[in-house]
Structure 1
Amino acid sequence: MELLDPRVDAESAHISKGHPPTSGTVAKLTTKAHRRFTDTALAAIVDRGSSVIKLPRERIITVSRMRPLIFLCVLAILTACGGSRANTGLASNLASTDFSQHVLIFLATSRKPTENADQPYSAQRSLTLNMARYDVGIPLSRRVGTVSTGGTHPDPRRHFAVVSSSAIDGRARFVRQMNAALNRLPPENREIFIFVHGYNSNVSESLYRTAQIVSDFGVKSVPLSYSWPSAAALPLYVFDRDSSIFARGGLAETIQMAAETKAKDIVLVGHSMGAFVVMEALRNLAMEGKRTYFARLGGVILAAPDIDVDVFESQVHDIGVLPHPFTIVVSQRDRALSVSRFLVGGHPRLGSGRNIDLLRENGITVIDASAADGGGHGVFASSQAMMKLVENSRLARDALVENKATTSPFTIAQGIASSPIAIPLTVFLPSRLVGNGAQ
């Protein structure tokens, strides 16, 4: 599948060959899309976390009949209607005292740095891993599970923003600073939580989503955000797919750095296309004879994984024995994965939850969130049901969030069963634990 039609100009073709996009280029492509389809009936439903953008019903046409070029241009139009992207807000000179809460987040990224404090890293790919630390302010007036941003002038009462930041030069210094953060925690909480964002995300959005999860789920570990070079533009899905392959080495290096710290355990969470980066990083470590690092992983969670089912089987084969516990959050109502399936020619995506038996046979615990809060693409981070599960069971918190090595997958099911409130989640335990057909 080609990303762009042969009739587009040289600038568009420049992107199709894998060169990093700029915001100006995306804007030009969006403008062309408006001109080309002004008189055409267009429709799309794009699930970005908890927000759904729709065009009027009377203008709907069947998405499956649209050529990939047209569909991507529709996404460009919807992007233009969605407002500006998040940035750090550092130019506003806000203080940590301006926010109700602030979280120290470490960053490792395979993006190239910029001179722009509001967008400190670009979509350009870097073979050198860049590292930094950010103090992220969390607003008081926000709905739990959401991430609200305010552009270059954030309001600390309503928006996430970066209070301060500093680059970290060198692997040894990064490990030392992470150890210092770990030492400030009680011994039982000295763990590292690595979050890998999905498609269509910039660095600020990755930091803010990490901060939101830490705040809403009560994560006590040291958070580490791995940001791979997503273009942060809906039309550039293919560019992001290539970047996710490029970024696997950087995440493998990040896991090794985390393993060199004094952390008791490391939990690794990948969302959407970020789950593909996680699997590829684990595959890299296994293929390079570095499986010993798996022992430092207290657990792995893939949330709404945008991975071809056949590719996942191949990855598992190359990895061998997966780290334990290994959990995948799926939803049959994930519209974003339906769009992804269309874009790649109809191949089923792992996060759609239609291959649960395959997962259980590989020792994987599956949480089906189809009935939880709409079952959307960001349900793992925004679902009230997931949060209630964590709030009402310390054992479930250990398994889902902190992944303590002493917990069993049974604890997730126990958390649901023991909850005093109804939690619309279904848990499928690995076949080796309960026998085929058990749930």
Structure 2
Amino acid sequence: MPTSRLFAFLIVLVILSGCGGPRAITGLESVSARGEPAAIVPIFVSTSRERSDNLALPYSAERSQKLNFAKFDIGIPQHHVPGSVEKSGRMPDPERHFTARSYRQIDGRKQFIAQLNEALALRAPEHREIFIFVHGYNNNFADSIFRNAQITHDYNVKSVALHYAWPSGGALPLYVFDRDSALVGRDGLAETIEIAAQTNARRIVLVGHSMGSYVVMEALRDLAISGRGRHLKRLGGVVLAAPDIDMDVFESQANDIGELPQPFMIVVSRRDRALGISTRVAGGHPRVGSGSDIAFLQSKGITVLDVSDLDGGRHGVFASSPTLMDLVNNGQLLRTTIRDEQTAVSPTILADGGAVIEGAASLVIFLPSRIIGRLAIVGAVR
């Protein structure tokens, strides 16, 4: 292999390691032989992966032409550290590892909607929401659903958790395969959003991480240009965390979508090494998650959270940051944003939790241009 090609290949391996770690298995094949976890997180699944007869990974990396539906109960280990996904590629121990405690296939859209509605009805009215999570690159099925369960548990999400699993190859050398699979998976996510919109949910929140953010934008674009834009109005919030999307591609996607669902938030970091190397592989074309053009994102009505100085600013900081969890779980982040949207005219907010949240002042919030303009008018009138 020529030196230049070898160098490029090594760079790609480093990129992919940003979403890596040991490969997980569900543990379903031996669930009766193990102890009890500390907590159980129910996760509904909509996936464009093919079903597998292997209970260790009941959905493979093969691409399915139709959506498959299921419900899992995921065990949180006894010794769980918030922000971590403790996993094993061998026999998982429920005291030390995430495990799937049960798995039930669901037959078709109609039954899936019915079961989502049943889960919604069990919640207090203010929590009758659906939280859709879209995983990043280099994830097998167990890796991705465990991350969803970790976020749901650690962020104390009260909504019904709905995991969208697109057919990532779950292996370091398969970056191109994953990029192609992200395009294959966009139709399935668009259909999943459509399904969620047909439930009794009061609100739908959509979160994509890394390459999963590319799937999210492509799905929103697909809904907008195919005459199904009404479903976008059911979205009560979209978050893209460390999006691995070319800035020019994102602009084209946003233009095709038109009016973005609100609120729309992007989490960026200048210290995201994975996205930095991705930029180099792309010939210097910056990624959205690197925070290279925050002013453009603001002009599109997007709120930007700059986590460069928050708990290391790593690629997965959105899911692993203790500070961010504390800010969300005690409502400090929401109160800070609302307070400063109402009173400030600066384009940025330095989140300040004071003595309540240690390290909170490391988070910078860039408000959308529409809010800055409105606040400037209010300030002038005052």
Give the TM-score, by structure 2 length. 0.89
- Pairing partner for 1:294 from 232, 237, 259: 232
Instruction: Give the whole-Å Cα distance in 1 for the aligned partners of 2:33 and 2:84.
Output: 22
Alignment correspondent of 1:47: none
Instruction: Give the whole-Å Cα distance in 1 for the aligned partners of 2:64 and 2:336.
Output: 35
CA RMSD of aligned residues (A): 2.8
Deviation at 1:84, TM superposition (A): 4.6
Give the alignment of 1:171-210 within 5 angstroms. Answer: 171-210=109-148
CA deviation map 1:104-144 (0-9, x unaligned): 10011111111101111111111201111000000121221
Q: Taking structure 1 as reference, are residues 258 and 303 closer, same or farther at Cα in structure 2, changes over 3 Å only? A: same
CA deviation map 1:348-394 (0-9, x unaligned): 00000111000000100000000011000000010112112113326
Q: Work out whether residues 270 and 291 of structure 2, in 8 Å CA contact, stay in contact via their aligned partners in 1.
A: yes
Deviation at 1:237, TM superposition (A): 0.7
Give the alignment of 1:91-170 within 5 angstroms. Answer: 91-94=29-32, 98-170=36-108
Deviation at 1:417, TM superposition (A): 3.6
Which runs of 5 or more structure 2 residues have no equivalent in the other structure? 343-347, 377-382
Is 1:315–2:253 an aligned residue pair? yes
Instruction: Give the whole-Å Cα distance in 2 for the aligned partners of 1:353 and 1:65.
Output: 29
Instruction: Give the whole-Å Cα distance in 2 for the aligned partners of 1:416 and 1:218.
Output: 21
Secondary structure at the aligned position of 2:237 is classed as: strand
- Pairing partner for 1:416 from 348, 351, 367: 351
Q: Taking structure 1 as reference, are residues 175 and 117 closer, same or farther at Cα in structure 2, changes over 3 Å only? A: same
Q: Taking structure 1 as reference, are residues 174 and 95 closer, same or farther at Cα in structure 2, changes over 3 Å only? A: farther
CA deviation map 1:296-335 (0-9, x unaligned): 1010000000000000000011000000000000000001
Q: Taking structure 1 as reference, are residues 178 and 436 closer, same or farther at Cα in structure 2, changes over 3 Å only? A: closer
- The alignment covers a number of residue pairs equal to 368
Instruction: Give the whole-Å Cα distance in 2 for the aligned partners of 1:415 and 1:392.
Output: 17
* Percent of aligned pairs sharing the same letter: 54
Deviation at 1:396, TM superposition (A): 1.8
Is 1:340–2:278 an aligned residue pair? yes
Q: Taking structure 1 as reference, are residues 360 and 382 closer, same or farther at Cα in structure 2, changes over 3 Å only? A: same
Alignment correspondent of 2:264: 326
My pick for the range that moved more, 262-271 or 227-236, is 227-236
Instruction: Give the whole-Å Cα distance in 1 for the aligned partners of 2:34 and 2:340.
Output: 38
Q: Taking structure 1 as reference, are residues 323 and 149 closer, same or farther at Cα in structure 2, changes over 3 Å only? A: same
Instruction: Give the whole-Å Cα distance in 1 for the aligned partners of 2:51 and 2:202.
Output: 31
Secondary structure at the aligned position of 2:351 is classed as: helix
Give the TM-score, by structure 1 length. 0.78
Q: Work out whether residues 118 and 152 of structure 1, in 8 Å CA contact, stay in contact via their aligned partners in 2.
A: no
Amino acid at match of 2:225: M
Alignment correspondent of 2:380: none
Secondary structure at the aligned position of 1:294 is classed as: helix
Instruction: Give the whole-Å Cα distance in 1 for the aligned partners of 2:15 and 2:349.
Output: 42
Is 1:392–2:330 an aligned residue pair? yes
Q: Taking structure 1 as reference, are residues 157 and 347 closer, same or farther at Cα in structure 2, changes over 3 Å only? A: same
CA deviation map 1:16-74 (0-9, x unaligned): xxxxxxxxxxxxxxxxxxxxxxxx9xxxxxxxxxxxxxxxxxxxxxxx99632344467
Q: Work out whether residues 145 and 216 of structure 1, in 8 Å CA contact, stay in contact via their aligned partners in 2.
A: yes
Q: Taking structure 1 as reference, are residues 357 and 173 closer, same or farther at Cα in structure 2, changes over 3 Å only? A: same
Q: Taking structure 1 as reference, are residues 210 and 359 closer, same or farther at Cα in structure 2, changes over 3 Å only? A: same
Deviation at 1:239, TM superposition (A): 0.8
